[in-house]
């Protein structure tokens, strides 16, 4: 039975959220908190219970997310400063050759965006695609779209990037499964949206790289590529091993319980990222004669963007908790179960709508996670939770347009008009969303 007063409260909260962000330009953190209060008031909660619920939601969420996002930001900052991202991209370009440069770039974007934020990684690597365009005289989009596809997919699908980490925490999904399915869904999505779409759109729109005013400055020496891959791979490998070893998949094997317990600690995202930071700090910093003060400044500066994401995620946790404590989540879960609506489809549509209306993929992911979390019953498996995370990430990637900062970043650096950006970047993000969701649907039937 649907309680329309609760539905009205939730819809009113979402409408207020969008008006505050779009019309009044209020920071999304404050807007999410205000919207949560409105949901509580109009659903009939006791006044002080609203405050208790906000505190509960914020505390439950930040206990995990703050640590992971903070450690991830520091790790990425050290990798960025060392030149590791350029080293990996240059290596792949040499190995793949000029003819297959688009494949090299999608792979480079895919792996570089694991530790480095999307916009930072793009700005670091954009000189490579300029250089390629000047050599080949082909459209800049032949190289730019694959790079952007790799960066966007990893940024949305694969922890420890903040978006999937936040959604996984709100849904109580295991990060190891999210990483595994993020890779599995990301590979076909990257192939189609990267080299294949890049080749198609490059024939339709010819763009030249900006004129070279000065000779590009290069770092005197880059870290070894094998070292970079190893350092990036350490936390991912530890987290995935922990998930697999402690999952039902291996419960019939005679594995020492003591080993499982130790790996549960070492393979926890906290410990895995602490180890990765220490290794990066020494091998990419101290061993390369970077001053300790410089490393301190680099990692301290990385906390600023991380802080925004942490607070946004906490506000999303408040919104989720409000839906749980008002009983709206349980009521919607029963309704959708009776109507036969897939949780995957609900999650994808919720994220898509918020993304299209207000632009920010992070806000869309967190809002959709808050709406979806109360619908998850005890019968939802860990694999299904991970796939729901990817479904939300897919929806939150759709139709990047003028209200998304990424739209203008791409337009500026690739020298595209608004119309050309719509035809290339906006179409790419939409293809990414639908292929990501289609892949999730297929995996949900297999597993």
How far apart, in whole angstroms, are the C-alpha atoms of residue 365 and residue 356? 12
**Which segment of 25-39, 170-184, 205-219, 244-258 scores lowest on mean pLDDT?**
205-219
Confidence of residue 149 (pLDDT cuts 50, 70, 90): very high
Neighbours of 440 (CB within 10 A): 26
Determine the pLDDT at residue 337.
67
Quick check: 121 pLDDT over 50? Answer: yes
Quick check: bond before 36 cis, omega within 30? Answer: no
Give residue 433's pLDDT: 97
Q: Is the pLDDT confidence value at 333 over 80?
A: no
Reply yes or no on whether the pLDDT at 199 is more than 50. yes
More reliable by pLDDT, 346 or 306: 346
pLDDT at 90: 84
List, for residues 18-59, the tens digit of each pLDDT value.
899 878 989 889 998 999 999 999 999 999 999 999 999 899
Q: Does 393 score more than 60 pLDDT?
A: yes
Distance CA 14, CA 20 (A): 10
| Residue-wise pLDDT tens digits, 263-285 | 889 989 899 999 999 999 999 99
Query: Quick check: 212 pLDDT over 60?
Result: no
The answer on pLDDT for 240 being more than 60 is yes
Is residue 431's pLDDT more than 90? yes
- Give residues with Cβ within 8 angstroms of 246, minimum separation 6: 260, 263, 264
**C-alpha span between 113 and 278 (Å, rounded):** 20
Torsion of CA 395, 399, 402, 405, to 10 degrees: 50
CB 235 within 8 A of CB 269: yes
Predicted confidence at residue 216, as pLDDT, reads: 45
For the chain, the average pLDDT equals 88
Residue 219 has pLDDT above 70, yes or no: no
Q: Is the per-residue pLDDT at 218 higher than 60?
A: no
Q: Which residue has the higher pLDDT, 154 or 255?
A: 154
Q: Name the pTM for this structure.
A: 0.81
d(CA 179, CA 390) in angstroms, rounded, equals: 10
| CA dist., res. 36 & res. 298, Å (int) | 35
Residue 234 structure tokens: 């350490």
Residue 272 and residue 266 in contact, taking contact as beta carbons nearer than 8 Å: yes
Q: What is the average pLDDT across 163-174?
A: 92
More confident residue, 49 or 130: 49
> Is the per-residue pLDDT at 290 higher than 60?
yes
Rounded to whole angstroms, the Cα distance separating 380 from 447 reads 12
Task: Name the most confidently modeled range: 10-19, 324-333, 422-431.
Answer: 422-431
365-385 per-position pLDDT tens digit: 998 998 899 888 777 899 999
Lowest mean pLDDT among 47-56, 68-77, 210-219, 291-300: 210-219
CA 432 to chain CA mean position, Å: 13
Q: Say which residues have a Cβ less than 8 Å from residue 395's Cβ, sequence separation at least 6.
A: 347, 348, 349, 350, 351, 352, 355, 364, 368, 433, 437
Query: Worst-scoring range by mean pLDDT, 109-118, 134-143, 217-226, 412-421?
Result: 217-226
Q: Residue 268: which region, alpha, beta or left (left: phi > 0; alpha: psi -120 to 50)?
A: beta
């Amino acid at each position: 039975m649907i309680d329309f007063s609760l539905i009205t409260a939730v819809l009113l909260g979402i409408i207020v959220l969008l008006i505050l962000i779009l019309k009044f330009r209020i920071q999304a953190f404050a807007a999410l908190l205000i919207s949560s209060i409105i949901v509580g008031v109009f659903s009939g909660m006791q006044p002080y219970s609203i405050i208790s619920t906000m505190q509960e939601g914020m505390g439950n969420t930040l206990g995990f997310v703050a640590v992971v996002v903070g450690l991830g930001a520091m790790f990425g900052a050290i990798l960025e400063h060392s030149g590791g991202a350029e080293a990996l991209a240059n290596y792949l370009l040499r190995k793949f050759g000029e003819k297959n440069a688009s494949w090299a770039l999608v792979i480079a974007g895919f792996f570089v965006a694991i530790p480095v934020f999307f916009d930072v990684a793009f700005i670091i690597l954009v000189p490579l695609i300029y250089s390629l365009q000047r050599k080949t005289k082909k459209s800049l989009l032949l190289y730019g779209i694959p790079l952007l596809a790799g960066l966007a997919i990893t940024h949305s699908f694969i922890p420890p990037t903040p978006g999937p980490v936040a959604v996984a925490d709100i849904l109580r999904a295991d990060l190891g499964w999210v990483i595994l399915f993020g890779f599995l869904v990301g590979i076909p999505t990257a192939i189609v949206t990267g080299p294949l779409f890049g080749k198609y759109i490059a024939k339709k729109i010819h763009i030249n790289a900006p004129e070279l005013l000065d000779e590009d400055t290069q770092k005197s020496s880059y870290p070894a590529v094998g070292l970079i891959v190893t350092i990036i791979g350490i936390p991912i490998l530890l987290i995935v091993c922990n998930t697999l070893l402690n999952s039902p998949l291996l419960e019939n094997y005679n594995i020492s319980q003591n080993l499982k317990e130790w790996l549960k600690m070492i393979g926890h995202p906290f410990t895995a990222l602490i180890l990765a930071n220490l290794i990066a700090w020494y091998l990419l910093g101290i061993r390369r004669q970077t001053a300790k003060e410089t490393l301190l400044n680099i990692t301290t500066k990385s906390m600023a963007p991380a802080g925004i994401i942490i607070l946004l995620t906490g506000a999303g946790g408040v919104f989720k908790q409000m839906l749980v404590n008002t009983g709206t989540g349980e009521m919607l879960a029963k309704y959708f179960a009776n109507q036969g609506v897939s949780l995957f489809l609900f999650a994808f549509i919720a994220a898509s709508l918020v993304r299209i209306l207000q632009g920010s993929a992070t806000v869309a992911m967190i809002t959709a996670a808050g709406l979806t979390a109360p619908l998850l019953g005890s019968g939802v498996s860990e694999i299904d939770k991970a796939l729901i995370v990817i479904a939300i990430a897919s929806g939150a990637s759709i139709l990047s347009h003028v209200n998304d900062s990424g739209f203008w970043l791409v337009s500026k650096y690739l020298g595209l008009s608004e119309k050309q950006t719509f035809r290339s970047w906006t179409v790419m993000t939409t293809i990414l969303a639908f292929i990501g969701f289609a892949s999730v649907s297929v995996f949900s039937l297999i597993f």
